């Protein structure tokens, strides 16, 4: 199924209500935009279990800093 949408002056397009409802897209939903062979592909990003529980998904963790904070600096 295809829809014709019009881009505004900033290049924004509206995802139609029936599509938002079908894909459960709400305010703040994360979407992935890819360009493949001149075609725009927009996918709903599924929340990861770690993100649901509030655990940092992409934050870099320094294990030595954590061990130091726990008093484990002499173990290595």
Q: Phi and psi (nearest 5°) for 41?
A: -115, 125
Global pTM? 0.56
Summarised one tens digit per residue, pLDDT across range 1-59 is 788 999 999 999 999 999 999 999 999 999 999 999 999 999 998 876 665 565 555 56
Domain residue ranges in the chain? 17-69
Distance between CA atoms of 56 and 48, rounded to whole angstroms?
11
How is residue 16 annotated by DSSP?
P
Query: Which residues pair with residue 36 across a beta bridge?
Result: 39
Going by the DSSP 8-state scheme, the letter that residue 11 receives in this structure is: S
Determine the Cα–Cα distance for residues 69 and 31; give it in Å rounded to an integer. 37
């Amino acid at each position: 199924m295809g829809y014709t949408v019009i881009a505004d002056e900033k290049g924004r397009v509206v995802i139609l209500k029936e599509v938002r409802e079908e894909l459960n897209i709400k305010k703040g939903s994360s979407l992935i935009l890819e360009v493949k062979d001149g075609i725009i592909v927009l996918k709903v990003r599924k929340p990861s279990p770690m993100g649901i529980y509030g655990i940092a998904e992409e934050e870099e963790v320094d294990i030595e800093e954590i061990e130091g904070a726990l008093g484990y600096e002499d173990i290595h």
